[in-house]
Amino acid sequence: MKLWFRIKRSIVSLLRCYYKLSLTWLVAITFVTVVTLCGGIVLYMSVLTNLKTTRSLVEKASIMSTKAINNALGAYFNPAFSSVYAIKTYAEEQPSAKNAIFRAKQTFRGVLFGVKSIDGLVLSLPDGTLWGLKHDADKKELVSFKPEQPLFQFTNLQVRYTKSQTDPFWGEFFAGSEDPFSTISSAIKFEGETIAYVSAIITMKGVGAILSSSNADNLGPPGVDEDVTRFILTSQNNVLAYASPINELQQHNLLSHVSTFGDPVLAKLEESKPQPFSQRARKQGVELRLINDGEDIYVLVLQRLTSEDGRVYYVGEYQLANSRYDEFSRLSNSIFAGIAVVFLSALVAIFFARRLSSPLKAIARRAEKFGALEFDHLEPLPRSHIREVDQITTAMNTSINGLRAMSRYIPKSLYSKLMVLGIDQAAKAKEAELTILFTDIEGFTSISEHRSAGEVANLLNEHFKLLVSAVEAHKGTVDKFIGDGMLAFWGAPNEMEDHAERAIAAAEDIVKAVHEANKAEPENALHVRIAIHTGPVIVGNVGAVERWNYTIVGDAVNVCNRLQVLGSSMTSLKGACVLVSGETVEKAHHPDSLTCRGRYEIRGRKGKVEVWQLNSTMCDEE
């Protein structure tokens, strides 16, 4: 029995210790537990997902590589397409077919010196005449020549043009020389009839030079080693272009099949298969293949491209697998580093927990009195070396001093009710009759079109300063700025009987201020449309709990906006046009400063609205 009581007493003591656990140890244990669990989970997931991450990096690098090649090719080919089209357009602008042919020839010299991707230009006429101009062997002079290749014949180009859906269009590839080439051609038409074809010669040697220099020209992906081999293949796996720092293959091998081209890695392309883990890359048209070449493993990236005329090409590159993608060797180092980080984090957590818990105890004691509004017996909290704790103590000390002073002027019971109800009760949404003012700058889009963003911002800031000054001078409330316009109203939150008169007076001040600003800076002159309308709206806090907005909503707001749009059709003095609805005029007791312009239909409103205009904005003849 005594043994049982001893055990019971020990359990009760342990329970009491548990429920009265020191804040220091609670924070320390919590920090250590959280850091250890988080670090352990991160380490565990790092080990399990390392392979997946590596594969993801491979895919991302593959996509970047093919995009870099495509960018380089685009930068190389686009000027050629543009130049051929420019020659065509220039020729078709001539008054006769003879002048068109003559002017087209005149442009050849300038295009060849200006566009490095074009090696030569050929003009093909319906009678079989061929005339060409190309660079010499040293790329220093231009020489005339008569091309012998059948692909430049007018009839062949006409067949190709008929099949193509674009202009300019790609021609066939020609391999009957030491420098294979293709053409970009365009039809020159006069009075609806094709009178000639202009063709630009694009050598595959030049394309290969672009592939080899893409990284040097900052077009390739960063961090690519110099052992990258790049290539372009046809749909039959014939090599169109090739650049490699490790295989010195002759250019006359181009247009041969990959199996006979001479590159041992490309020769095994058809035997390889896309890797199953490269699905994300394949969705973007990129394939990833691994090719074994003896003791070496190469990573080959291939992207399928379809030209506008339906022909399929493959752009790609390959390099040794361990030159860019070897992440597995870092796995063991990451494990040891993770364990060390977890251990050190636990020690740091214990140290900071002890430092942090001491001021937290003092904050907790004072928070109890603070919640009970016992400000008279609260002593200031000491400053802390921990930034966040010091911010808390400073904020609490400031709050205590302020509330202690406030409690001397406001009864504690009233203060408690305000704390319970919340300050936003003063702005609770309600229905009220207000006078609304809408402004907008006419033609602001065209004004800002030729200005920088900073100039536009400065112009708007100065304009809004004039508007806000006029509204606040007549006790109005600025609701919001909408683009280059402003919404303001009178009658809330301060109730006033003369809200219509105040709005009209504010509009008068705005007109004067705009005229003076336009006179001082004519280069920044603005024409402002202003509308004023009086009607019932919902005014108060509108929004969500996380974000309130003191604003107005209702049909009267829409009417005012439509009235402002109507101002664009009213004649007015340069600078401003102020339209006022009949409701506002009646509320303001028909001031002499307004003239009735008639009744107008406004979109979204049944019946017509009586419209008045401010006399100071009307033309003299009116």
pLDDT digits 0-9 by tens, 143-169: 888 887 788 888 888 888 887 777 888
334 and 429 fall within a common domain: no
The pLDDT of residue 560 is above 60:
yes
The answer to whether residue 382 sits within a structural domain is: no
Return the pLDDT at 374.
Answer: 60
333 and 440 fall within a common domain: no
The answer to whether residue 383 sits within a structural domain is: no
Q: Of 76-85, 203-212, 330-339, 587-596, which gets the smallest average pLDDT?
A: 330-339
332 and 441 fall within a common domain: no
The pLDDT of residue 120 is above 70:
yes
What share of the chain has pLDDT > 70, as a percent? 71
The answer to whether residue 388 sits within a structural domain is: no
Task: Provide the number of structural domains found in the chain.
Answer: 2
The model's confidence at residue 506, banded by pLDDT at 50, 70 and 90, is very high
Distance CA 184, CA 168 (A): 6
Distance CA 385, CA 616 (A): 65
210 and 284 fall within a common domain: yes
Top-confidence range, 294-308, 333-347, 445-459 = 445-459
The model's confidence at residue 478, banded by pLDDT at 50, 70 and 90, is confident
The mean pLDDT of the chain is 77
The answer to whether residue 391 sits within a structural domain is: no
DSSP 274: B
236 and 349 fall within a common domain: yes
Asked whether the beta carbons of 530 and 437 are under 8 A apart, the reply is yes
Six-digit token string for 191: 């009075």
Domain end, chosen from 363, 378, 404, is at: 363
Q: Of 231-240, 285-294, 407-416, which gets the smallest average pLDDT?
A: 407-416
Return the pLDDT at 305.
Answer: 78
* pTM of structure: 0.42
The answer to whether residue 583 sits within a structural domain is: yes
Q: What's the CATH number where 36 sits? A: 3.30.450.20
Q: Which of 160, 114, 112 is nearest to 132 (CA)?
A: 112
What share of the chain has pLDDT > 90, as a percent? 16
- Domain residues for the domain of 489 are 417-614
461 and 599 fall within a common domain: yes
470 and 345 fall within a common domain: no
The pLDDT of residue 238 is above 60:
yes
pLDDT digits 0-9 by tens, 12-36: 555 444 445 555 566 667 766 777 7
562 and 443 fall within a common domain: yes
The model's confidence at residue 548, banded by pLDDT at 50, 70 and 90, is low
337 and 476 fall within a common domain: no
- Dihedral pair phi/psi, residue 559, rounded to 5°: -60, -45
* Between 92 and 180, the higher pLDDT residue: 92
Domain end, chosen from 363, 379, 408, is at: 363
Return the pLDDT at 508.
Answer: 94
Return the pLDDT at 217.
Answer: 44
Residue 534: how many CA atoms within 13 Å on its side-chain side? 24
Q: Hey, what amino acid is at 546?
A: E
The pLDDT of residue 198 is above 80:
yes
The answer to whether residue 584 sits within a structural domain is: yes
Distance CA 184, CA 167 (A): 9
Taking the CB of residue 364, how many other CB atoms lie within 10 A of it? 10
* Between 622 and 48, the higher pLDDT residue: 48
pLDDT digits 0-9 by tens, 69-83: 777 777 777 888 888
Distance CA 7, CA 1 (A): 10
The pLDDT of residue 586 is above 90:
yes
Return the pLDDT at 230.
Answer: 84
The model's confidence at residue 216, banded by pLDDT at 50, 70 and 90, is very low
Q: Which of 446, 494, 460, 448 is nearest to 474 (CA)?
A: 494
The answer to whether residue 395 sits within a structural domain is: no
Six-digit token string for 146: 């008569």
Domain end, chosen from 328, 345, 363, is at: 363
Distance CA 38, CA 32 (A): 10
Return the pLDDT at 529.
Answer: 93
Q: What's the CATH number where 533 sits? A: 3.30.70.1230
Q: Where are the beta strands (DSSP E) in 419-461?
A: 430-441
pLDDT digits 0-9 by tens, 405-460: 655 544 443 354 334 444 455 456 788 899 999 999 988 888 888 888 888 999 99
The pLDDT of residue 294 is above 70:
yes
Distance CA 556, CA 537 (A): 6
512 and 582 fall within a common domain: yes
59 and 178 fall within a common domain: yes
Return the pLDDT at 328.
Answer: 45
The answer to whether residue 192 sits within a structural domain is: yes
262 and 182 fall within a common domain: yes
Return the pLDDT at 421.
Answer: 40
Six-digit token string for 506: 């504010």
Return the pLDDT at 438.
Answer: 95
